[in-house]
Amino acid sequence: MTTKLTGVCTITLTPFDDCGNIDEASLRKLTNFYIDSGVHGMTILGIMGESHKLTENERLRVTDIVMEETKGRVPVVVGCTSRGTNVCAMLAKRAEEAGAAAVMIAAPAGLKNEDMLFRHYEEIAKQISIPIVIQDEPVTTGVIMSPKFLAKLNKEIPNCQYVKLEEAPTTVKTSKILELTGDNLGIFGGLGGMYFYEELDRGAIGIMTGFAYPEVLVKTFEKFSNGDKSGARDYFYHYLPLIRFEAQLGIGGVTIRKEIFKMRDAIKSAHVRFPGAAVDDRTLDEVKELINYVGLTTVSS
């Protein structure tokens, strides 16, 4: 039975030790940290998970550890993006065998031919029976997928059931996609969480982002889902300064998030594999001030 994805499907980190090796103990601890935060799902091996810096064996190992540790408590979406269609298909098949609820796949970098891009998703879909989350990530891939093209993928490839939007403004694109697909294509917001309330108000079914306080996004979603739109907006806007600060850091966003998760004792090291931007002491002081300003704590609940 296919699990319906909705809510906060947090984009997860891949913890490393100070030497750059995968820290399996921290990965297990972090997995439970996310679940204890109330997330509705986990999306592993995305850009924030530094999947592009992992070997094929490391990607498979991360998948196995997370699936083993979740024990079915939340659905897991596995990132399977690769430049080669055959590699994507192999990773997707392996993810399905491991128990993934869905796979997330972005366009191969620079592939701007829509016919070839359609075939890319079509060939992968033939190899699996679980849903595909189309990762619309033009900043990294250089590929813009129009609402019309996303609707075509959804209509003609049954597995293409979700899309994660990263093209600003996500709000406008959400509305345009829903005009073409109705509720047949589930839309998840992104962009660091900066427009989560607005995305929900436009019809998104949730969000996939890596904000270091996922419980804030969870409560926002729950308030909105329970009909308290005003409460959801007020609550979300209260924490927006910290969300904004994380999101504006670009490549350094992974580092700052790892630093916060380290502060929260969810991982042991904030190491980011090279190339990755370091975070200076001034930035760390600023983020600590923001955490205090919005009334959060670095002590895990």
- Positions at the binding site: 208
Largest CA distance in the chain: 51
Contacts 24+ apart (CB under 8 A), 88-97: 88/120, 88/124, 89/123, 89/124, 89/126, 89/127, 89/128, 91/56, 91/59, 91/60, 92/124, 92/127, 92/128, 92/132, 93/127, 93/128, 94/60, 94/63, 95/63, 95/130, 96/128, 96/129, 96/130
Per the annotation, where are the binding residues for pyruvate? 208
How many Å apart are CA 56 and CA 90, to the nearest integer?
10
Integer angstrom CA distances of residue 267 from 61, 210, 270: 18, 14, 7
Assess contact for 151 and 22: CB atoms under 8 A. no
Do 177 and 150 touch, CB atoms closer than 8 A? yes
Q: Which residues fall within 8 angstroms of residue 289, CB to CB, at 6 or more apart?
A: none
CA 134-139-144 angle, 5° bins: 55
Q: Under 8 Å CB-to-CB from 235, ≥6 apart: which residues?
A: 216, 219, 220, 223
- Measured between alpha carbons, how far is 270 from 259 in angstroms, rounded to an integer? 5
In the block, tokens 């109330």 appear at 38
